[in-house]
Amino acid sequence: MFSTSKPAIIALFAIVLLSSPGCGHAASPSGLDRLGFAIQMGAFADVKNAERFTDTLQKKGIEAFYFRKDNGIYAVRFGDFATKDKARAAAKRLVADRLIGGYYIAPPNEIVFARPRGAGWQKPVGEEITSPRSTDGSKTAWDKGTARTGKMAESAQPRPARGDRDMGAIAARTAERFVGIPYRWGGENVVDGMDCSGFVRAVYNLCGLSIPRTSRDQFKAGDQVAKDDLRDGDLLFFGSSADSISHVGIYVGSGRFVHAPRRGEDIKVSAVDESYFERHFIGARRYFQ
């Protein structure tokens, strides 16, 4: 399924160089970087295949994450490119080296999940290359007849810019879409507590904002928020002290937050005032103003 040839590794290292910090992206009010273009690939029917491919990328030095799309299949996203051309060039190298079979260039202003599910919540197929099948052998939109012209499908129109207050709500709705998905980050070398911070990082990534990698660094960023002033999208931190953060989750309203409990377990919703979380609550941070 995966190629480990030297050209593929070289192409992957090129992605790391192209997606390294300092691309001139606009900063958020909290001083955090707005993400540029990203590469999204796959139509994984089985979450284990999405997890395995994500792990393959991470072991090659590329920070990647997977998520479940509105049509029920899983996709993997990675990279932070200053321009669409740079993202496409990197993706084409990976296709040529047979590491991936299809891709979508995600724009910086794309809102993946804006509203709760309801009638007609399925999103249209985005801009995919004309790959006949997905990486895990499941049928893609191509097989189902959504693009039979031999050309790339047209991407959805960019959504209008939204205020940061709206983005907090979008981050909360995005977090809710992960509920029920088993999550593992970074293969077997992940340290304790990285799953929960990796999860919230993935949610913010889908909302166009890059936040620090570890829960301790995430706690140091953003703006302090009082517990009685929580808004959708705020991050909640737990541990024994501010210097010993052990867990983080995303507030989704009504006294609830979404989090990755421990390695390999499903993403779940918990109440902020549950005994354990109430005793270990350290503070909250806001990244969208």
**Nearest-angstrom CA–CA distance, 192 and 198:** 11
Q: What are the tokens at 58?
A: 């991470």
The segment with the largest mean pLDDT, out of 25-34, 97-106, 139-148, 153-162, is 97-106
Dmax (CA) of the chain: 59
Q: pLDDT > 70: what percent of the chain?
A: 67
Give 148 or 64, the one with higher predicted confidence.
64
Mean pLDDT of the residues in the chain? 74
pLDDT at residue 158 tops 70: no
Confidence of residue 99 (pLDDT cuts 50, 70, 90): confident
**Nearest-angstrom CA–CA distance, 185 and 187:** 6
- Residue-wise pLDDT tens digits, 28-59: 445 577 889 999 987 899 988 888 888 888 77
| Pick from 42-51, 116-125, 169-178: least confident | 116-125
Note the helical H segments in 184-246: 194-206, 215-220
**Which pLDDT score is estimated for 128?**
35
Note the helical H segments in the chain: 6-18, 47-59, 84-96, 164-177, 194-206, 215-220, 275-280
Give 156 or 98, the one with higher predicted confidence.
98
- Residue-wise pLDDT tens digits, 70-81: 888 899 999 999
Q: pLDDT > 90: what percent of the chain?
A: 34
Q: Which of 246, 287, 260 is nearest to 178 (CA)?
A: 260
Q: Which of 66, 76, 94, 95 is nearest to 195 (CA)?
A: 66
Mean pLDDT for 278-286 is 96
Q: How many CB atoms lie within 10 A of CB 203?
A: 29
Mean pLDDT for 131-154 is 34
**Nearest-angstrom CA–CA distance, 128 and 273:** 44
Q: Which residue has the tokens 């985005």?
A: 126
**Which pLDDT score is estimated for 192?**
42
Q: What is the set of active-site residues?
A: 196, 247, 259
- Residue-wise pLDDT tens digits, 61-70: 788 888 888 8
Which residues touch 168 (CB under 8 Å, ≥6 apart)?
A: 231, 232, 233, 234, 286, 288
Which residues touch 194 (CB under 8 Å, ≥6 apart)?
A: 185, 186, 214
- Residue-wise pLDDT tens digits, 186-218: 444 333 445 788 889 989 999 888 898 888 999
**Nearest-angstrom CA–CA distance, 238 and 221:** 15
Q: How far is CA 168 from the centre of its chain?
A: 15
**Nearest-angstrom CA–CA distance, 224 and 221:** 9
**Which pLDDT score is estimated for 70?**
82
Confidence of residue 269 (pLDDT cuts 50, 70, 90): very high
pLDDT at residue 256 tops 60: yes
| DSSP code string of 32-89 | PBBP-EEEEEEEESSHHHHHHHHHHHHHTT--EEEEE-TTS-EEEEEEEESSHHHHHH
| Pick from 90-104, 143-157, 205-219: least confident | 143-157
Q: How many CB atoms lie within 10 A of CB 254?
A: 9
Q: Which residue has the tokens 């709705």?
A: 173
**Which pLDDT score is estimated for 264?**
67
Q: What is the CA radius of gyration of the chain?
A: 19
**Which pLDDT score is estimated for 63?**
82
Which residues touch 137 (CB under 8 Å, ≥6 apart)?
A: none
- Residue-wise pLDDT tens digits, 227-250: 999 999 999 999 999 889 999 999
